[in-house]
Amino acid sequence: MAPNCLEFWGETLLDFFNVQRFPGVSNLRTISTGSKLYAWCKENGEAEGTTWNGKEVPAKDCIMWSKDERDPELVEVYDITTLIEEREKKIREASPSESTDTLEESNTNKWPPPSAFDPAAYPPSWNRLHPFLTDGPGAFLDIPALEHYIPQHMLPEKLVVHDPYSLLRALPLGDADSSTRSETFSAKPDRTYAYRLKSSTKHTSRREEDKQEMHKEEARKKAILVNFLSNPHSSVESKPPGIEIYVEGSLCGKIPPPVYVILPPQPALAAASEAHLYLSRSNYIGSGNHSCIYHAEWEVPRSLLVPELLCTKCVMKDATEILKQEDGEDGELMDPRWKELNGEIGPTQIDKDSLPIIMPIEGISDLVDGLYEFPRHPHDKPPPPVSYTGPYRVIHSRCQYQSLERSQYCEHLEDLVHPLTTKVRVAAKLSIEHDQHLVNEANNYQAFPKHFFQHWSGFNVINPIHDPTPVGPLVPQFYGYYVPEEREEKEAKHQAEDRNDSMDDDAEEGENDADDEKDNADDEDDDPKPYLSPLLLMEHCGKPINTLRLSIDDKNECAALCFRLNHAAWVHNSVYQRNILRKPGPLSASPSVRIENKKKRGGYGVDWSFRLIDFGRTEYVGDTPGNGIIGSLDHENQKIKMWHGDLKKLL
């Protein structure tokens, strides 16, 4: 069962069954899954062996298939680190003369700079990349779209908004000066506004859950290391990150224990304190009765999205030095136990992706001087998979992960120079003045359970749909709700004054009069300033669906989003076609693969990713009495039937 707690989950379409509950009664059928049927067979003695009561077990192939069914697995979106590094490579290659310059050589300031956004933190190649470029390596469309989950406690607290077009006023586009529409972002004088992250004080459970998961993951890694060090042997199921070094020629047979170089723990991604957001009139997405939305460039510290680097060449060089210090230049000081042939290596059938990094000791110099290639068999056939059985000789690498936020890269990585920040594409939603829909939506995003944002393997069957549908994310990723600093300070001030007023009810009349005079003076000092909209940052999930261009499977998947929302005791209250988006998928595939999928099936596309949006009216009804829930869901179902005609007979 996936985290959404839907009863019917199957790894593949072949894991779902229509069960005829009574022989001869063909119209009485029950939808079930292989795992549930296997559990029943096991309980009734029909799951083991091929016979039961002297007869062949019915559907033995189905039983064997269900027995091997895997549990639900979290499917990650395509790696944002890969996309960011590919873009950085393009920018470096566009300025080859500068690609080898270090950041320290490109400015006269002491490294590191005081801030990731300091001008000194940008190599010359990046200083010329203005926001919303239409072509070249820094073009807006080359900026990767952010799609992965970011824990709320890691979101930037401060947001500097660059808005030369005054879009933060949330006015209809037609009300702005038409002469500015064709102007480029860099041609207009920049206007910046300070915003602050406004987190819900009521809906904190997911925030705390994310923190606990991070602590559990750290504890898990420490436990793995302690367990391995207590018995450094191949039989240990989980090993810490490391590199195995073998004696040259030891590809098969009895060998001395290989060296296991334990790598330092990789630092976790760092929470961001500041980010910058760039808004442009030319990247308008759409608007409704209460809001408008734009494509935006979101510049964040690179350490929020990209993990730190560990130089393998430095690790191998360090391992060589450690071994020479312990064993002597010619091995004359080596402990005799490391010469005993008490290990064995041989061919095995294992997945190639799970192979450790194995390196002959004599190959270390090759790796330091260039990439070491594992010896090939004749005719360029890959070497057979091998595995080692026996003890390890453990050494700890003295190398550390590298980050430009602390110091320059080593000589092996200096060509990978980049800024301390990176840009990603997000959607920025703005609200008209005196409207509460955006506030409600932001609170709902923070209250949604985590599985709303996750993609899980397999399929669900959810009533009233009789066909399996994918278990993709329900809603766009949430990247924070931000309000102008002045507005936040004013709200905090008024809240403090309200608390003081309630505490001073019995105070003297003269003191109350003085407070009133002070409030009036504060109101007079408040200069009327243009309205600045709050900002809701989220993943851009494509365009609204058109059911005339959807297959029955796609329609079912869209409807399943609504029913999954209802199953979690949420009512959308606006499930129209305009509030269901789609974009090319799957999310785990690269952008190039998604583009190709979009063209398939005669232009109708395959593997679309669907998402519900617009939660300003959405309500949690889990605390509502039963009759109230039924009434809300019935009303929701009527809206779904308007665009999914095939469900009319089921709802």
For the chain, the C-alpha Rg in angstroms (whole number) is: 30
Average pLDDT over residues 578-591: 96
Two tokens at 295?
Answer: 């494509």
Q: What is the DSSP string of 26-89?
A: TT-EEEEEHHHHHHHHHHTT-SSSSEETTEEPTTHHHHHHHHTPPPP-BPPPSPHHHHHHHHHH
Contact 383, 375 (CB under 8 A): yes
The more confident residue out of 614 and 386 is 614
Distance (Å, rounded) from C-alpha 142 to C-alpha 127?
17
Q: In the structure, what pLDDT confidence band is assigned to residue 44 with cuts at 50, 70 and 90?
A: confident
268-275 mean pLDDT: 96
Instruction: Identify residue 169 by its one-letter amino acid code.
Output: R
Find, among 554, 491, 419, the residue nearest to 119 by Cα.
419
Residue 481 CA to residue 483 CA, distance in Å, equals 7
Predicted pLDDT of residue 295: 97
Tokens representing 584? 């090319």
Q: How confident is the model at residue 519 (pLDDT cuts 50, 70, 90)?
A: very low
Residue 500 is predicted with a pLDDT of 54
In sequence order, the β-bridge partners of residue 394 are: 260
Candidate from 44-53, 82-91, 162-171 with smallest mean pLDDT: 44-53
Nearest one of 613, 449, 477 to 537, comparing CA atoms: 477
pLDDT at 249: 61
Using pLDDT thresholds of 50, 70 and 90, give the confidence band for residue 185: confident
Most confident of 143-147, 546-550, 597-601: 143-147
Over range 475-497, report the average pLDDT.
Answer: 77
Least confident of 82-96, 183-197, 346-360, 394-408: 346-360
Give the span between the Cα atoms of 616 and 436, in whole angstroms. 8
275 - beta bridge partners?
Answer: 159
Vertex 618, ends 615 and 622: CA angle to 5°? 140
Distance CA 11, CA 403 (A): 40
What is the C-alpha to C-alpha distance for residues 277 and 163, in angstroms, rounded to an integer? 8
Span 90-112, pLDDT tens digits: 999 887 655 445 555 544 457 88
Q: Is residue 385 a contact partner of residue 352, using CB atoms and an 8 Å limit?
A: yes
- 505 vs 331: which has the higher pLDDT: 331
The pLDDT score that the predictor gives to residue 459 is: 96
Q: Is the pLDDT of residue 475 over 60?
A: yes
If one compares 401 and 65, the residue with the highest pLDDT of the two is: 401
Q: Are 74 and 4 in contact (CB under 8 A)?
A: no
> Distance (Å, rounded) from C-alpha 622 to C-alpha 309?
46
| Kind and range of the H or E run holding 470 | strand 469-471
- Is the separation of the CB atoms in 320 and 455 below 8 Å? no
Cα 561 from chain centroid (whole Å): 20
Separation between Cα atoms, residue 31 and residue 15, nearest integer Å: 11
Residue 523 has pLDDT above 80, yes or no: no
Q: To the nearest whole number, what is the mean pLDDT of the chain?
A: 84
Question: 168 or 350: whose pLDDT is higher?
Answer: 168
What average pLDDT score do residues 526-550 get?
90
What pLDDT score was predicted for residue 643?
83
Question: Is the separation of the CB atoms in 19 and 32 below 8 Å?
Answer: yes
What average pLDDT does the segment 6-34 reach?
87
Q: Judging by beta carbons within 10 Å of its beta carbon (0-12, 13-18, 19+), is residue 394 exposed, middle or buried?
A: middle
DSSP 409-428: PPTTTGGG---SEEEEEEEE
pLDDT value of residue 52: 53
DSSP per-residue letters across 524-559? HH---------EEEE----EE--GGG--HHHHHHHH
The one-letter amino acid code at 428 reads A
- Model confidence pLDDT, tens digit, residues 216-262: 999 999 999 999 999 999 999 999 999 998 876 656 788 899 999 99
pLDDT at 302: 97
| pLDDT tier at 510, thresholds 50, 70, 90 | very low
Q: What is the pLDDT of residue 47?
A: 67
Yes or no: say if 164 and 189 are a contact pair by the CB < 8 Å rule: yes
pLDDT greater than 50 at residue 514: no
Task: Summarize pLDDT for 321-336 with one digit per residue, the tens.
Answer: 999 999 998 888 999 9
Those residues with Cβ within 8 angstroms of residue 104's Cβ, 6 or more apart along the chain or in another chain:
111, 408
The pLDDT confidence band at residue 28, using thresholds 50, 70 and 90, is: confident
- Judged against a pLDDT cut of 70, whether residue 559 lies above it is answered with yes
Give the residue from 621, 209, 239 showing the smallest Cα distance to 446.
209
Residue type present at position 553: D
The rounded distance, in Å, linking the Cα atoms of 216 and 160 is 33
**The token pair that represents 257 in the structure block:** 């224990």
Cβ atoms < 10 Å from Cβ of 609 = 23
Question: Of residues 637 and 128, which shows the higher confidence score?
Answer: 637
3-state secondary structure 499-514: HHHHHCCCCCHHHHHH
Q: Which stretches of 95-135 are DSSP H helices?
A: 124-127
Alpha-carbon span 606 to 54, nearest angstrom: 48
Instruction: Return the pLDDT at 626.
Output: 63
Q: Give the Cα separation of 392 and 231 in Å (integer).
A: 9
Which pLDDT score, from 0 to 100, does residue 236 have?
94
CB 331 within 8 Å of CB 339: no
Long-range contacts of 201-206 (CB under 8 A, 24+ apart): 202/443, 202/447, 203/443, 203/446, 203/447, 206/152, 206/446, 206/447, 206/448, 206/449, 206/450
Q: Which residues contact 537 (CB under 8 A, 6 or more apart)?
A: 277, 296, 298, 426, 427, 428, 429, 478, 479, 480, 481, 482
Using an 8 Å Cβ cutoff, are 299 and 161 in contact? Answer: no
Above 60 in pLDDT, residue 201? yes
DSSP conformational letter for 257: P
Residue 45 scores a pLDDT above 50: yes
pTM, to two decimals: 0.85
Contact status, residue 259 vs residue 244, Cβ threshold 8 Å: yes
pLDDT confidence of residue 594: 96
Contact predicate 29/18, CB 8 Å: yes
